[in-house]
Amino acid sequence: MELNKKNSINNILEENRTFPPSKEFSNSAIIKSKKDLFDLREKARKNPNEFWDSYAKTEIDWFRPYETVLDRNKAPFFRWFPEGQLNITYNCLDRHIKNGLGDKNALIWEGEPGDSKTYSYKDLLKEVCKAANALKSLGVKKGELVCIYMPMIPEAMIAMLACARIGAPHSVVFGGFSSESLKDRVIDGNAKFIITADGGYRKDKVIELKKAVDSAIDSGAGDVVNKVIVIKRTNKEISMKLNRDFWWHELLENQDDWCEPEIMNSEDRLFILYTSGSTGKPKGVVHTIAGYNLWTHLTFKWIFDIKSDDIYWCTADVGWITGHSYIVYGPLSNGSTTLMYEGVPRPSNLGAFWQIIQKYKVSIFYTAPTAIRSFMKSGREIPDKYDLSSLRLLGTVGEPINPEAWIWYKDVIGNNQCPIVDTWWQTETGGVMISPLPGAIDTKPGSATLPLPGIEVEIVNKEGSRVEINEGGYLIIRKPWPGMMRTIHGNSQRFLESYWDFIPHKEEPFVYFAGDGARIDNDGYVWIMGRVDDVISVSGHRLGTMEIESALVSHESVAEAAVVGKKDELKGEAIVAFVSLEKNFKNSDQLVDEIKLHVVSEIGVIAKPEKIIITDSLPKTRSGKIMRRILRSLASGEKVSGDISTLEDSSVLEKLKKDS
Ligand code: WTA
């Protein structure tokens, strides 16, 4: 997407309200003032190694200390704390028990049908150890990738930690992805083991996860997968294949509840997580243990200003990076109580979220703008019925939040008492990069405010020169940070091309290109403008237009397809597909529905196009490239503006207007 200063900045440029934290909040905060924050930022800027070293030493427990903080020899394949040895589960579990927190709740879980469960740190460690021993008994070895395809149940967290306990990296695939998507990820990662459930509850339906695993295996993943472990959740009839499929509860039954944590090197892989880019198939973002542990630990502590008695709830799914970093690793590494909810709000129970806050006296709530907008739409009467007075801090993540939703969140959910942390980051960054530290600075609705200490953000143009204040440009990160992705699994070339070679820089040999556009205002606050590549964000879920286009053209009737995002009040963006048909097919509602369902079965329900426009005139340049800019304007009902002289056939525009 080209950066368009005018339409991207739009009314947000006029947003200049500021909201300071209350005195009480600041006084008891970990970072209490702008001065403290700026001192930290300055310290990090002056001597980054010393800065990171001071936290790595004190916040992380090591089995063997590191000697080097940052190894730049193979940059941009940076290595952090390379000689160090540790196990992230020791930092997330054992050390808290040693410190007397064994009986503290580690996990509170609320199931969709109303069942619930809590695990103390001691309980969680025991379950993780049993699961770890079970994995070993099936032959899972250190370094071997395990795929996790699960609903939001405690076993999802336990499975992740069990893998980490024995040094087997995990690859969690969101339970809403189709069997096709699962298959691609299993094959790309060469995962011999899958941990799944018979099914999961999502809204009012049961999602048949095991069935999806079976069809992934039957359609190609079978060449890779040896064993499948199945958790009983829905009790629905499923087929179990002898010597390949095993019940979780049977495997765990007789396992010892102690498993020695494997001694891991800092740069051993902790996980792969697939995310969409602008080209090709989703890429397997690789994170390694120590740097990720440190960054999720620190950011969680700073941003959520965590106290020992906080009940913290992040509504993401563990299938996304937010779930990895801020349901599992960040909170547990800090010895906090993390809440996990199986469901998503549904029309029959819009109060579910507020009921959970009331029931467990949640003090910190972290969700996505898209959820806030849908709550807003259904009116304040619903949350007003519940006692939300336990809340002291609110957060958002995943997409730009419009100032109206921000104000509603602060007013209606936070009763104007809670600071809001709008956190900008990505799968690739491991943890939050830009966010208010809630006791330290004033917030502005719609801005993620300032980069965290140690993070150097700059907005530049294509040539790599810094742009003016309030001018839109590409968001880059100048310096390496511990939680950064290490590579793309199996494709280091793509890692270099997508993130490091894209923008030249006058002073730094390597700058990280995030794929987002942004501007920085007079106060140094960052305003994210959205993706500048062909990635669209539907309800905060990241999807590549090319992925959806490949799914479309794999339908027998589709000759060519072009997908664009259209602004959507609730979802942020909605998917609109322009499709030309093969000769023998005719446009009909039935065909359009069939094509939509085909995309769902290829990718998952999150990728279902809202609208498919059948046309035989896709606008192309003389070199055959589809001009998406034109399609975007048409999809949004805007006038097509800008240069159209490169169009091969200018008459397509009129035809297209008729078709859309
Ligand atoms: C977008 C999600 C505006 C952004 C953690 C980024 C945001 C992409 C924000 C990463 C925010 C995330 N304000 N935009 N606070 N947070 N984004 O990898 O475009 O699923 O590049 O990670 O989400 O999406 P991902």
Give the strand pairing for 526-531 and 512-520. Answer: antiparallel
Q: What is the residue with the minimal CA distance to atom 7 of ligand 1?
A: 399
Q: At what angle do helices 589-602 and 545-553 cross, to 10 degrees?
A: 120
Ligand 1 site-directed mutation target among 516, 527, 534, most atoms within 8 Å of CB: 516
Please tell me the distance between residue 477's alpha carbon and the centre of ligand 1 in angstroms: 15
Q: What is the residue with the minimal CA distance to atom 8 of ligand 1?
A: 426
CA distance 611 to 251: 46
Please tell me the distance between residue 626's alpha carbon and the centre of ligand 1 in angstroms: 26
Q: Return the pLDDT at 7.
A: 39
Beta bridge partners of 395: 366, 421
Report the sign of the C-alpha dihedral through residues 278, 282, 283, 285, in that order: positive
Residue 464 has pLDDT above 80, yes or no: yes
Cα–Cα nearest to 128, from 296, 260, 322, 297: 260
Q: Which two tokens stand for residue 487?
A: 């590579």
Cβ 80 vs Cβ 287: under 8 Å: no
Report the sign of the C-alpha dihedral through residues 635, 640, 642, 646, in that order: positive
Q: Which two tokens stand for residue 477?
A: 């990160």
The secondary structure of residue 455, as a DSSP letter, is: -
Beta bridge partners of 120: 105
Is-above-0.85 flag for pTM? yes
Q: Which atom of ligand 1 is nearest to the CA of 531?
A: 19
Residue 14 has pLDDT above 80, yes or no: no
Please tell me the distance between residue 246's alpha carbon and the centre of ligand 1 in angstroms: 37
CA distance 21 to 420: 9
Contacts of 359 (CB under 8 A, 6+ apart): 110
Residue 1 has pLDDT above 50, yes or no: no
Indicate the burial class of 523 (C-beta count within 10 angstroms; 0-12, 13-18, 19 or more). middle
Ligand 1 site-directed mutation target among 320, 426, 488, most atoms within 8 Å of CB: 426
Indicate the pLDDT class of residue 12, thresholds 50, 70 and 90: low
Residue 15 has pLDDT above 90, yes or no: no
Indicate the pLDDT class of residue 626, thresholds 50, 70 and 90: confident
Percent of the chain with pLDDT strictly greater than 90? 87
Cα distances from 156 to residues 185, 275, 459, 469, in angstroms, run 18, 19, 38, 45
Q: Return the pLDDT at 2.
A: 47
Ligand 1 site-directed mutation target among 3, 285, 537, most atoms within 8 Å of CB: 537
CA distance 133 to 128: 9
Ligand 1 site-directed mutation target among 424, 444, 539, most atoms within 8 Å of CB: 424
Q: Return the pLDDT at 659.
A: 83
Would you list the DSSP string of 384-433?
HTS--TT--EEEEESSPPPHHHHHHIIIIITTTTS-EEEEB--GGGSS--
Alpha helices in 167-200 (DSSP H): 179-189
pLDDT tens-digit profile of 312-353? Answer: 999 999 999 999 999 999 999 999 999 999 998 777 788 999
CA distance 164 to 536: 32
| Count of Cβ atoms closer than 10 Å to residue 67 Cβ | 10
Q: What is the residue with the minimal CA distance to atom 23 of ligand 1?
A: 398
The secondary structure of residue 506, as a DSSP letter, is: S
Q: How many H-runs (helices) and E-runs (strands) does the chain carry?
A: 23, 30
Residue 535 has pLDDT above 70, yes or no: yes
Q: Return the pLDDT at 495.
A: 96
pLDDT tens-digit profile of 74-99? Answer: 999 999 999 999 999 999 999 999 99
Indicate the pLDDT class of residue 10, thresholds 50, 70 and 90: very low
Instruction: State the first-to-last Cα distance of the chain, in angstroms, to the nearest integer.
Output: 21
CA distance 158 to 118: 13
Name the average pLDDT for the chain. Answer: 94
Cβ 478 vs Cβ 437: under 8 Å: no
* 139-168: average pLDDT: 98
CA distance 513 to 631: 26
Q: Return the pLDDT at 652.
A: 83
Beta bridge partners of 271: 170, 287
Q: Return the pLDDT at 656.
A: 85
Cβ 288 vs Cβ 267: under 8 Å: yes
pLDDT tens-digit profile of 543-580? Answer: 999 999 999 999 999 999 999 999 999 999 999 999 99
Q: SS3 string of 131-160?
A: HHHHHHHCCCCCCCCEEEECCCCHHHHHHH
Percent of the chain with pLDDT strictly greater than 70? 98
Residue 512 has pLDDT above 60, yes or no: yes
Please tell me the distance between residue 319's alpha carbon and the centre of ligand 1 in angstroms: 15
* 472-477: average pLDDT: 96
Q: What is the residue with the minimal CA distance to atom 12 of ligand 1?
A: 398
Q: What is the residue with the minimal CA distance to atom 24 of ligand 1?
A: 426
Q: What is the residue with the minimal CA distance to atom 22 of ligand 1?
A: 426
Report the sign of the C-alpha dihedral through residues 301, 302, 308, 309, in that order: negative
Cα–Cα nearest to 561, from 583, 542, 582, 586: 582
Residue 9 has pLDDT above 60, yes or no: no
Please tell me the distance between residue 516's alpha carbon and the centre of ligand 1 in angstroms: 9
What residues does ligand 1 touch, defined as CB less than 6 Å away? 275, 320-322, 397-400, 422-427, 448, 514-516, 528, 530-531, 537, 542
* 233-253: average pLDDT: 97
pLDDT tens-digit profile of 371-392? Answer: 999 999 999 999 999 999 999 9
Residue 108 has pLDDT above 90, yes or no: yes
Residue 5 has pLDDT above 80, yes or no: no
* 463-485: average pLDDT: 96
Q: Return the pLDDT at 13.
A: 62
Cβ 145 vs Cβ 153: under 8 Å: no
Q: Which atom of ligand 1 is nearest to the CA of 423?
A: 15
Q: Which two tokens stand for residue 14?
A: 């006029």
HSE (CB half, 13 Å, CA atoms) of 655? 12
Please tell me the distance between residue 515's alpha carbon and the centre of ligand 1 in angstroms: 10
Between 5 and 36, name the one with better pLDDT.
Answer: 36
Q: What is the residue with the minimal CA distance to atom 6 of ligand 1?
A: 426
Ligand 1 site-directed mutation target among 542, 573, 606, most atoms within 8 Å of CB: 542
